[in-house]
Amino acid sequence: MRILLLRTEEPKVHILEQRHMDQIRALDKSIELYAPLAASTEEVQTHLADAEALAGFPRDLAEISLAFAPRLKWIHSFSAGMEKVLTPELKASDVIVSNSSGVHAIPIAEYVLACIFIFAKKFYQSFQNQQEKRWQALDGMTEIRDATVLVVGLGRIGTEIAKVTAGSGMYVIAIDRSAKGKPEFVQELYSTEQMEQVLPKADYVVLSLPATVETHHLFDMEKFRIMKKSAVLINIGRGELIHEQELIEALRQNVIAGAALDVMEIEPLPHDSPLWKMENVVITPHHSSHTKKRMDRTVDLFCENIQAYLRGEQLSNFVDKQKGY
């Protein structure tokens, strides 16, 4: 089995180390692994000609043309989002696709909990006071115990978010497409169609959904007006889930209290975006999953899928190319 692994030099958290490649090669004697570092287009095309499997991050996979890969049967993405990977060419092909959804659940859930604390304890104001050397006690801080968090999307990441927030004493409600199979740490489970009746209950609304036609601009001014004025919106899914301009207006008009955004409609966030200067907004550059264990978990899942592939079994995180997830 010939595998082409597209390795990158940046960011450091995405770097595959030699031990990762040794781990892959040790799975089976039949594996021939090609893992060029920051390979040229010509080098990639040369290796593609014989590759049966291809793995890498979306920005690299998106540049691949199947015309140079006559033997390719499987593509595995080291990320969860598929919007860049699922080109019309790939959708129309017989190549199967899997992704790394869920491997980042633990760090992202911790990120969400940190954001909740930032707003509950008004750390964003304390940080500003520190920069201005202002000794000022803050009013209006809240406790997260018994506060209500709404998790929109109960995939692996959303489920871990629900678990972590419940473990901190929060009352967890969730929205999922089917609203079936409620985890024990979720107190109330609703379907997507029940969104409007659920939003007014939440102190914190966490978005954990993929970017699809159905989820594009799912959260707009109409949804913001249904939320509590004291509610905080946290997005760790995809930037396209939110109508960004309407979010800016909602924050300006105090329709909602604040937002923590790890993903944006346009990345990097343009320098002239009003979001940069809003005191009630926390912005991070799509790095909620970036911990030292990221690639270890990513490679572990890839190895499990290689073994399943060699046995002719169903792959974990198999992607429906037409649905986009």
Q: How many CB atoms lie within 10 A of CB 267?
A: 10
| Distance of alpha carbon 303 from alpha carbon 293, whole angstroms | 16
For residue 178, pLDDT over 80 is answered with: no
CA distances from 146 to 30, 149, 314 (A): 54, 9, 41
| Secondary structure letter of residue 9 according to DSSP | -
Q: Give CA 118 to chain center in angstroms.
A: 20
Pairing between β-strand 53-56 and β-strand 2-5 as defined by DSSP bridges: parallel
Q: Which of the four CATH numbers 3.40.190.10, 3.40.50.720, 3.40.50.2300, 3.40.50.1000 does domain 2-103+291-311 have?
A: 3.40.50.720
User: How is the chain split among helix, strand and coil, in percent rounded to 5?
Assistant: 35, 15, 50
The predicted model scores a pTM of: 0.92
| pLDDT (tens digit per residue) in 95-106 | 999 999 999 999
Q: How many CB atoms lie within 10 A of CB 46?
A: 16
For residue 56, pLDDT over 80 is answered with: yes
Which residue intervals of the chain are DSSP H helices? Answer: 18-25, 41-48, 58-61, 88-91, 105-120, 123-131, 156-167, 195-198, 221-226, 244-252, 294-311
Which pair of structure tokens corresponds to residue 33? Answer: 């692994």
Instruction: Enumerate residues 6+ apart whose C-beta is below 8 A from 150.
Output: 173, 174, 175, 198, 199, 201, 202, 204, 205, 206
For residue 317, pLDDT over 90 is answered with: yes
Q: What are phi and psi of 39, to 5 degrees?
A: -70, 150
| Distance of alpha carbon 188 from alpha carbon 175, whole angstroms | 9
Q: Which DSSP string corresponds to 112-181?
A: HHHHHHHHHTTHHHHHHHHHTT---PPS-----TT-EEEEE--SHHHHHHHHHHHHTT-EEEEEESS--S
Nearest Cα to Cα of residue 64 among 35, 55, 213 = 55
Nearest Cα to Cα of residue 141 among 164, 162, 116, 166 = 116
Q: pLDDT-based confidence at 12, cuts 50/70/90?
A: confident
* Domains 2-103+291-311 and 105-283 alike in fold: yes
| pLDDT (tens digit per residue) in 123-166 | 999 999 999 999 999 999 999 999 999 999 999 999 999 999 99
Q: Residue 11 has what pLDDT?
A: 82
Q: Which fold has domain 105-283?
A: Rossmann fold (3.40.50)
Is residue 72 within 8 A of residue 66, CB to CB? The reply is yes
Gap between the terminal Cα atoms of the chain = 26
Sorted by where each begins, the domain ranges of the chain are 2-103+291-311, 105-283
Of 79-83, 247-251, 304-308, where does mean pLDDT reach its minimum? 79-83
| pLDDT (tens digit per residue) in 179-233 | 778 999 999 999 999 999 999 999 999 999 999 999 999 999 999 999 999 999 9
Encoded amino acid at 198, one letter: V
Q: With the CA atoms of 70, 95, 240 and 178 taken in that order, what torsion angle do they form, in degrees rounded to the nearest 10?
A: 180
Encoded amino acid at 201, one letter: K
